[in-house]
Structure 1
């Protein structure tokens, strides 16, 4: 991993079903963060291209969502690529992606674009949450992408509730995990500091940098609460937002911190994978512990 990586997490207020307008606003943020703050990695929330799905299945909305979705590469990634080249930085953004072969089938995707404008990688959300299942098929790959900044892995919102995913990404070499969120206010179900907590936990468990970028604004009946955060390998919060307003959260990731933490706690040497078989058993297997 590079000695220092300057990151900007942009709490975008994505406009529902307006991909061209959202792409243009993201491009503006990329160029500004690169020019004014020397950002090397600029991150946007889940489904930044279209906004989030409506809270119940609606044929009219479904038709509009399919129409607003796009391939990768496509119009949104091409606009972000141009901005990435102009700013000389990497970009991660959430895209409602059309299936490359099957018409009217969608992925909830995160795309990683390099400073040369090339698409480095795409993550299809592995764990579809609630109403997302009505629109998106779940991904089935877990990739890590080597870059000049370090090895970067991607996940999307609900993916963070499954620690196995971040662990597999780390075992495949991830040093920076970028998590894109579209988390709305849910009193009694999701605490307002949820992103800070989860970033810190996933970072500490795996001795990685864990970045959580949440959106702002309102779609349909949902209000998104922002409060993005960046956590270091020891679980310390490097930077965070305390607002639900659109803003950029900036942090510097020090590669020395990752190396030092992994020397201090030898997490990967100390694992006992022979004891973790239940993780891959189906719920119907009826496996039970027999410890005395």
Structure 2
């Protein structure tokens, strides 16, 4: 990877007011750009507003579609990559919790949440792909909220070359400090075990679906150290310089870079042997 400055947004999502949410996103994208960020990541389902109720279908859109088209124009105009979340209407009328990776030049990617939380399973279909995206000489993966509790997913992204894993959340309940303590039980481990950066951000405030989100954001380096955080609970953003040298110090150290020493064949043989 190369050095890159990124922004992670804490976002108050008005469910289901897509136009209002996207207008606010425009402001935050311009602000991130003015601070020198090359990429900004928004929380899970920040455009649609988070819901695990069937009525979310009314605001779901296909990809490509009007939402992704507007984001592509914004990305081109500001010359910044935008990661943003929405309810996606699939080709067979399925609903997905999706996160768009919109990069300048018309490059559009999508990650569909692969681990659905129990309350989501009656409404959303699970994604079946684990893409890794590229922009500005970095490779990155995206995981959404409940996904982050499954270590194998982070390892797979690391094996596919990810330098950064962005972890947008729509995680309700509790105070910012309580949410921070919860995240610190597992997110630093995802960074440490795989020697990569982890960037996490959450929605903030009340939404029209009766949920309260304790907005926080944090950045974790490849050694598992918290290098930036915002526990204010309010809408805003953190802006972080991610250093290639910080990753190289870990990945060039034979006792600190664990990933190449995984015994994948052994694990598979043991699993198949019962």
Same fold (TM over 0.5): yes
Q: Report whether the alignment pairs 1:175 with 2:175.
A: no
What SS does the corresponding residue of 1:202 show, helix, strand or coil?
helix
Looking at structure 1, the residues matched to 8 and 185 of structure 2 have their Cα atoms a distance apart, in angstroms, of: 17
**For residue 110 of structure 2, what is the aligned residue in structure 1?**
122
- Matching residue of 1:87: 78
Select which of 95, 109, 113 maps to 2:102: 113
Task: Go from structure 1 to structure 2 and tell me whether the alpha carbon gap of 1:171 and 1:20 turns closer, same or farther (over 3 Å shift).
Answer: same
* Inter-partner Cα distance in structure 1 for 2:143 and 2:252: 26
Q: Per-residue CA shift, 1:63-112, capped at 9, x if unaligned?
A: 3x21211111222222222221222111111111010x213x21100110
Residue-by-residue CA offset, 1:241-279 (whole Å, 9 max, x unaligned)? 112110101111001111111111231332122342389
- Superposition pairs for residues 258-277 of structure 1, below 5 Å? 258-264=247-253, 265-277=256-268
CA distance in 2 between partners of 1:242 and 1:274 (Å): 42
Distance 2:270 2:25 in 1: 39
Shift of 1:225: 0.9
- Mapped partners of 1:273, 1:214: distance in 2: 33
* Alpha-carbon distance between aligned partners in 2 of 1:273 and 1:95, rounded to the nearest angstrom: 35
1:131 Cα deviation after fit: 1.8
- TM-score, normalised to structure 1's length? 0.86
* TM-score, normalised with respect to structure 2: 0.91
Query: For residues 160-182 of structure 1, what are the alpha-carbon distances to aligned partners after superposition, in whole Å with 9 as ceiling and x for unaligned?
Result: 00010000010011111111100
Match of 1:249 among 208, 216, 238: 238
For residues 265 and 126 of structure 2, what CA distance do their matches in structure 1 show? 28
Counterpart contact for 1:196–1:240, Cα < 8 Å: no
Match of 1:290 in 2: none
Give the gaps of 5 or more residues in structure 1.
288-292
SS in 2 for 1:243: strand
Alignment equivalent of 1:66, drawn from 30, 48, 57: 57
Match of 1:165 in 2: 153
Equivalent residues of 2:193, 2:259 under 8 A apart: no
Q: Does 1:227 align with 2:235?
A: no
Count of aligned residue pairs for this structure pair: 269
- Unaligned runs of at least 5 residues, structure 2: none
Structure 1 CA distance for aligned equivalents of residues 45 and 270 of structure 2: 30
RMSD of aligned residue pairs (Cα, Å): 2.0
**Which of 182, 196, 216 matches 1:208?**
196
1:31, 1:279 → 2: CA distance? 51
State the SS of the aligned residue for 1:17.
Answer: coil
Residue in 2 that maps onto 1:102: 92
For 1:45-56, list aligned pairs within 5 A.
Answer: 45-54=43-52
Match of 2:188, SS? helix
